[in-house]
């Protein structure tokens, strides 16, 4: 179980650092009357992480305990890692240079008027259909499934992943609920920085996690 925890921690961190949900929650927290919207998005985000991890883990657990299954899991992790490295290079090339200011995407501007139910759906959507996050979650599911733990430890492993992966969305919401003024002062500059450097952040995160996945996959061979 400890080995599985060691494998899923960096993948959970990679999901936590996914810029799109992080930018969305900061915009929502800073929007007019953003409490309900941010809570809705947070709920959708956490549910999305839990559902995708559970489904992928059940699929990974269905694989028999055999050398062939272990080899398949290792090859799949290496393939996912190589894919993330490729995406990292692409993102790095698209980063703004010099004084160039990236335009704020329309979907970010629309967050100021989004309803709470739609914010919930958005939180679910950006988690369930984000291919980069699915790669992280699939890598974690392979590690959890390969551990072949009883139900209790299995739930603990999933909870560890969900808590860490969702922490960067939960934290701004808690800051806003507990101390709204401080949250606004802290998150305002963070919002500008994330919009400006999202391609760089994504590139670095994908590169690190891609290397981690490749390393984990090689250990299965």
Distance CA 25, CA 40 (A): 10
Q: Is 118 exposed, middle or buried (CB count within 10 Å of its CB: 0-12, 13-18, 19+)?
A: middle
Cα(120)–Cα(115) distance, rounded to whole angstroms? 9
Name residues whose C-beta falls within 8 Å of residue 90's C-beta, 6 or more positions apart in sequence: 203
Provide the percentage of residues in the chain whose pLDDT is more than 90.
Answer: 22
The pLDDT mean for the chain works out to 83
Residues 6+ apart with CB under 8 A from 34: 28, 176
Q: Residue 147 is encoded by which pair of tokens?
A: 């551990």
Residue 102's pLDDT band (cuts 50, 70, 90): low
| Mean pLDDT, rounded, for 77-82 | 87
- Cα torsion through 74, 79, 82, 83, rounded to 10: -140
Tell me the average pLDDT across 92-114. 69
């Amino acid at each position: 179980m400890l080995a599985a925890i060691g494998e899923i921690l960096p993948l959970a961190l990679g999901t936590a650092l996914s810029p799109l949900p992080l930018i969305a929650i900061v915009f929502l927290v800073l929007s007019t009357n953003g409490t309900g919207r941010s809570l809705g998005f947070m709920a959708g985000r956490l549910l999305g992480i839990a559902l995708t991890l559970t489904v992928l883990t059940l699929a990974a657990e269905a694989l028999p305990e055999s050398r062939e299954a272990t080899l398949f899991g290792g090859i799949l992790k290496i393939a996912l890692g190589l894919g993330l490295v490729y995406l990292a290079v692409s993102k790095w090339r698209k980063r703004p240079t010099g004084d160039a200011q990236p335009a704020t995407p329309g979907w970010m501007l629309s967050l100021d008027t989004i309803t709470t139910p739609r914010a919930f759906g958005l939180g679910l959507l950006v988690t369930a259909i984000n291919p980069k996050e699915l790669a992280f979650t699939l890598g974690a599911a392979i590690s959890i499934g390969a551990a072949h733990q009883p139900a209790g430890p299995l739930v603990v492993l999933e909870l560890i992943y969900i808590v860490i992966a969702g922490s960067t969305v939960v934290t701004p919401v808690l800051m806003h609920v507990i101390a709204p003024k401080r949250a606004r002062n802290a998150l305002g500059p963070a919002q500008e920085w994330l919009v400006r450097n999202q391609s760089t952040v994504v590139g670095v995160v994908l590169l690190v996690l891609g290397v981690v996945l490749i390393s984990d996959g090689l250990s299965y061979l």
